[in-house]
Structure 1
Amino acid sequence: MSYDHPIGVFDSGVGGLTVFQEILKQLPRERVVYFGDTGHVPYGGRSPEELIRFADSITAFLIEQGVKLILDACNSTSSVALPYLQARYEIPIIGVVEAGVKMALQVTRNGKIGIIATEATIKSGVHRRLILEREPKAEVFGQACPLFVPLVEAGNVDGPETRRVAAEYLFPLKQAGVDTLIFGCTHYPYLAPVVQEIMGKEVALVDPAVETVRQAKEILIRMNKLSEGIKPGFNHTFYVSGSPEQFKRVARQLTGLGLIEEVKQVILD
């Protein structure tokens, strides 16, 4: 059976486009309704109460658009709001945190795992808890990188300032000898070339988007709700709470995709 309702994806801004791009690879016949909360970005310094409120409003909006499944593509809200959303709504809602943990444990060789994320995600301790539940002997090193999201939102992914900031953030993780580094924010894969250069080619970089979308595909197959009739590459819808033009400009720069044509502004507060 073909089930042509769209998949919902949300993030604080353009970071969730890393998940959108993975959907295009793994689920090319699915339509996506994307919401970037650019009016409130960055989420990293927000309180748990604010993050739950933002995520709740966005989830309700996406459900109004008729989505069949939602990917919470923001680690900050996945860390603190996901249990609330999953309890409140009947629709399947998937976060990105557990996917990153699973992948990291599969690839680490020395058991030293680093996490770079927003302040909210690091403070939640969710990555550390999930890693140690699965591998008590692992050593976990978290590093908040509060300037990374503003840099990516501005499209500054490889300039001198970005490299200086990245070197400062990553120094403690290099000193710790991590061999695996989780991108604990979906914005951060756009900084992968800079991060890899600083950390060294021997360090594995983990982008949770791949595993997250694989999990979504499994759920859709199990629910018999895969889409079969949509022409690949069309019919995606983008909403933001901030400037549509800014989002479109940076999104096209980061993704190289011409699919992001019309971006609509929606204020949920």
Structure 2
Amino acid sequence: MGQRMIGMFDSGVGGLTVMKEILAQLPDVQIIYFGDTARVPYGNRSREELIHFGEEIISFLIHQGAEAIVVACNTSSANAVPVLKEYYNLPLIGTIEPGARAAVQATATGNIGLIATEATVRSKAYSSAVRRVLTKGILPKKTELREAWQKGGHSIELVKAQACPLFVPLVEAGLSHSPEARGIARTYLAPIQEAQVDALILGCTHYPFLAPVIREILGEEITLVDPAQAMVEELKEVLEQLGHNQEKGQEMNKTSNHHRFFVSGDPVLFEQVGNTLLPGQIHSVKQVSWHQ
């Protein structure tokens, strides 16, 4: 297929959890990553701001040579991607529908939970996506629940969405495993426990950094759903189509397998925190300023 160049962006280091999954399954792609660390967190931003940020970053990534964009940010995916898809003539892969699809397939009771930023919870994008994937015929793997739902005898829905505004700042500061993180997580996760969910969507790409703490509090019986895996499946389909189109055109330029990293804030902090997830893979981070 030849090497493809993929653009990715997030409000900060969170999107690296998606990048890790992409590299595990698609080691030959070259990734241009943008972390908007000067404007993190996105969770308290307006829809208009998120669309504006997305325009700036996607245009930058296209200028860098990106052939497809992975929006590795749930807040942007929920609020901005539906609009941004109309602006750009290249594939944009968001987190919402892949995450909803994975949660529906994972639940055994029909009770799905969500932890996310305030903006993602407010958008109700995941609730809508759960209903949408069910109407597309994507159903739970558990036979009893699937059959009960098809007969109209059991609901499958997002029963509790919990905003966790302090999670992103904790991760960005490198405090994912701190006592503060554990205390804050216990408070946020109490309503999730009360709702008796059995599949919990990690509705922010920063949250897998906190997965050990979340797992410690909730126990093994709750499935943590990371949309990243389902996103990679969608990316594979996009790359296949890009490869098919390439065969009809000219041979693409060969590039090195060196990933590039850009941030709008502190490159040193990004490198330090990012390398806790992708050891030794993040270096030469460049800072980009939108304003002269």
The alignment's TM-score, normalised by the length of structure 1, stands at 0.94
Match of 1:202?
Answer: 221
Q: CA deviation at 1:139?
A: 3.4
Superposition pairs for residues 55-204 of structure 1, below 5 Å?
Answer: 55-135=54-134, 137-140=155-158, 141-204=160-223
Q: Is the 8 A contact 1:29 1:230 kept in 2?
A: no
Does residue 10 in structure 1 map to residue 9 in structure 2? yes
- Unaligned stretches of 5+ in structure 1? none
- How far does the alpha carbon of each residue in 1:79-126 deviate from its partner, in whole angstroms, 9 at most, with x for none? 011111111100111101111100000010000000000000000000
- The alignment partner of 1:257 has SS state of coil
Decide whether the 8 Å contact of 1:58 with 1:268 is kept in 2. Answer: no
How many residue pairs get aligned? The number is 265
SS in structure 2 at match of 1:116? strand
Q: Which has the higher contact order (CA 8 A, sep 6+)?
A: 1
Give 2:156's aligned amino acid: A
Which has more radius of gyration? 2
Q: Does 1:250 align with 2:278?
A: no
Q: CA RMSD for the aligned pairs?
A: 1.7
| 1:39 counterpart letter in structure 2 | A
User: Residue by residue, what CA displacement relative to the aligned partner does 1:242-266 show, whole Å, maximum 9, x if unpaired?
Assistant: 010011111112x142111110000
Contact 1:30 1:230 survives alignment (8 Å) = no
In structure 1, how many angstroms separate the alpha carbons of the residues matched to 2:56 and 2:278? 30
Question: Is residue 180–residue 204 contact of structure 1 (8 Å, CA) maintained in 2?
Answer: yes
Corresponding position: 1:217 with 2:236: yes
Q: 1:20 maps to which residue?
A: 19
TM-score normalized with structure 2 length: 0.87
User: Residue type matched to 1:30 in 2?
Assistant: V
> Is the 1:167–1:198 Cα contact (8 Å) retained in structure 2?
yes
Asked if the contact 2:116/2:204 (under 8 Å) is kept, the reply is yes
* Contiguous gaps of at least 5 residues in structure 2: 135-148, 150-154, 247-251
SS at match of 1:88: coil
Check conservation: 1:5, 1:66, Cα contact below 8 A.
no
Which residue of structure 2 aligns with residue 29 of structure 1? Answer: 28
CA contact (8 A) 2:77 2:94 kept: yes
Match of 2:281 in 1: 259
